[in-house]
A and B are shown apart, each in its own frame.
Chain A
């Protein structure tokens, strides 16, 4: 007994120096714009936290090792504008397979029904679901709800031009941004215009509000992105500050408003992978004042995406169902949410069947 006890004591004394990682993503092409960090690195996870981001971490100290050598390793993506809830879509299978670990609802719920929305959508989702609260008349009620749920409500949503003023009042009380569907004269620095490249968008007006610090979201959605508007605007330098799906029941099918699809459109319109990844991670987190998200910081929650850019003959549709011929597309091969592999299209984290077993249904 005594030698065993000694051995045990020895290993315990080593524990602080040698951590056992639950998950190690090895040798990926890390793009972590919030920390201004790019290059070949390993990302180590214990529990639900990122514990190390550095080259050449010891693989022998990890329960699951994933060879990420062929992929970009990015913070879990943030979809700044989606539509969930009873009239919307379900978050998990429409977001996690596309690398999104945080999805912000763009105003499905108001103060009146936020708690129902929380119970039916937020609390059931593996995706972290946050919300812009739709301001329906009463700014004070919206502000009260936003204060009560300040980890979930990140801003105020104006559905149309007439509700912008009420949304601004609620936003001023809570120091949060307003998300508006079009340019409005009263929008402040840090407020967000969605549907930036809609068919009714005016690039000069967009340039003008941008100079005041208003942020432009490259939303897909049913109305938000028209190549005949976006292609010339992007060519002239009017890039989006953030990129979002705007997904709802209609746009999820045609034009297929998922995150990697929407990112692929901007890629083929001339933006670089780094520019795009910055917009769906660091920029989106900053927009909603959530510095805890969108970064691969040591100590941060382990929300991570493994992405690749495929070459080939592809095509993408816009809100008018017009086609953009494309030779590259983003694809998400693996998503980690809260330290757990929740999407793994290539089976990178799965054991080969020949090594798996013994099989039992009684796990």
Chain B
């Protein structure tokens, strides 16, 4: 017995000494568009960083080896348009995003220059999810139609100042739901964007005779790098010309000039007839985002895997959808390659996705379903090197082999 214990002790010591990696995700199909990786590889994490991606990593090098064969390993998803502060439908980030493989959420306009510090303190600092902000051109933030139409609270200088002193947190500007006439909201947002050198995301609500058009917006008022969100909505003559059924030439021209088109699914902005026609004519979103809030997370289930699944149903490859959910949004907010990649040395934000086969229903904002045969679901999420979500418990030992265990690492 004593010899056996000695051998056991020595081998344990040897293993402990050799464990270079905290976590190894083994046998998954890695999709890392930033590094052109599309192959079965092992991914190693040390501390909060990605340590290695190799065809095979010795199991004895891993403190925790997680078998993810049959699953896709991708950079943590980046949701460029979500709502986690200010707005009455805001969700807490962790239980709405991390469980969906989204490791970074960008709050789209919930806070303004008056409230951005409160946002950081009460939500961002309390969340495991990386939370960044597009601050509203309205100083009070997204607190209702009246506030959002109050031009007196749209101050480009104060907005730019707030961005300059919080560049680690604020990545751009949002303007939305402006109910007044003319260009004040959009132009002041762009003016603040110029002062702080950040992009502007625009959700414009052109229902009535507002004295402005989408055409003028995307061609004359937005800059290269600014974002037109809710691209597949049906508000007016937006992406698709209703009579001809064709993508509007001015949208194609705006894209050529560098204006970015963001999905922003939400509860009212993803319509099958619009998305289907646009995709068939080669007009995909530059960035896939959810506009996730208390309404859209329910019946439409528009989290990132759901939006990715819908784009795949319309012909996008998984690899391309992952690019538009990682690299592209990271670049749009000038955070690439800090996030959006599995490159060695980058922060270990990782999603492990399951591509399910079967018959699935996907609902749009009108409430109509399209049936598809593939669905993406998140199986496991690593954020900043920590295993934060694990649908099937892959990363942990079976209880009956764990003795009188306490909380297992």
Contacts and interface: CB of A to CB of B under 8 A. Distances in A.
A253 B95 CA distance: 7
Contact of B367 (A316, A317, A350): A350
Contacts of A228: 399-400, 402, 404-405
B298 A319 contact: no
Contacts of A96: 298
A125 B94 CA distance: 19
Interface string A324-352: 11000000000000000111111110111
B390 interface: yes
Contacts of B364: 353
Contacts of B272: 353
Contacts of A323: 393, 396-399
A318 B299 CA distance: 29
A356 B96 contact: no
A100 to B, nearest CB: 13
Contact of A256 (B294, B371, B391): B391
Interface in B29-48: none
B405 A320 contact: yes
Interface residues of A, number: 48
Q: Do most interface residues of chain B lie in helix, strand or loop, or is the interface mixed?
A: loop
B368 A350 contact: yes
B388 A253 contact: yes
Contacts of A316: 392-393
Interface stretch (A85-93, A145-153, A166-174, A289-297): A85-93
A222 to B, nearest CB: 9
B234 interface: yes
A60 to B, nearest CB: 23
Interface residues of B, number: 50
A28 B362 CA distance: 23
A255 B92 CA distance: 18
B368 A351 contact: yes
A231 interface: yes
Interface string B339-375: 0000000000000000000001111101111110000
B98 A319 contact: no
Q: Do most interface residues of chain A lie in helix, strand or loop, or is the interface mixed?
A: loop
Interface string B379-405: 000000001111111101111101011
Nearest to A329: B392
A350 B391 contact: no
B399 A227 contact: yes
A231 B399 contact: yes
A314 B371 contact: no
Interface in B318-355: none
A5 interface: no
A342 B390 contact: no
Nearest to B98: A253
A89 B399 contact: no
A90 B92 CA distance: 8
B406 interface: yes
A94 B272 CA distance: 27
B394 A315 contact: yes
A322 B99 contact: no
Contacts of A254: 387-390
Contacts of B404: 228
B393 A324 contact: yes
Nearest to B369: A347
B69 to A, nearest CB: 12
Nearest to B268: A361
Given A323-B399, A356-B366, A89 B361 contact: no
Q: Which residue, B96, B360, B399, has most C-beta atoms of chain A within 10 A?
A: B399
A231 B392 CA distance: 18
Contacts of A319: 407
Interface string B264-302: 000010011100000000000000000000100111010
A164 B396 CA distance: 36
Contacts of B360: 346
A94 B396 contact: no
B102 interface: no
A341 B396 CA distance: 37
B233 interface: yes
Interface string B81-98: 000000000011011101
Contacts of A93: 91, 95-96, 294, 297-298
A90 B93 CA distance: 11
Nearest to B394: A315
A341 B299 contact: yes
A112 interface: no
A199 interface: yes
A342 B299 contact: yes
B368 A360 contact: no
B390 A317 contact: yes
Contacts of A314: 392
Interface in B96-146: 96, 98-99, 128
Contacts of B217: none
Q: Which residue, B272, B367, B387, B398, has most C-beta atoms of chain A within 10 A?
A: B367
B405 A356 contact: no
A344 B407 CA distance: 35
A252 interface: yes
A138 B387 CA distance: 42
B368 A353 contact: yes
Contacts of A324: 393, 398-399
A253 B389 contact: yes
Nearest to B273: A359
Nearest to A96: B298
24 contacts: A92-B298, A93-B96, A228-B404, A231-B399, A253-B98, A253-B388, A253-B389, A254-B387, A256-B99, A315-B392, A320-B399, A320-B407, A322-B397, A322-B402, A344-B363, A345-B361, A346-B360, A350-B367, A351-B368, A352-B369, A352-B371, A353-B364, A356-B368, A359-B366
Given A323-B398, A347-B362, A347-B363, 5 more contacts: A227-B399, A254-B388, A352-B368, A359-B234, A359-B273
Closest 10 CB pairs of A and B: A347-B361, A356-B368, A347-B369, A322-B399, A315-B393, A323-B393, A227-B399, A350-B369, A315-B392, A353-B368
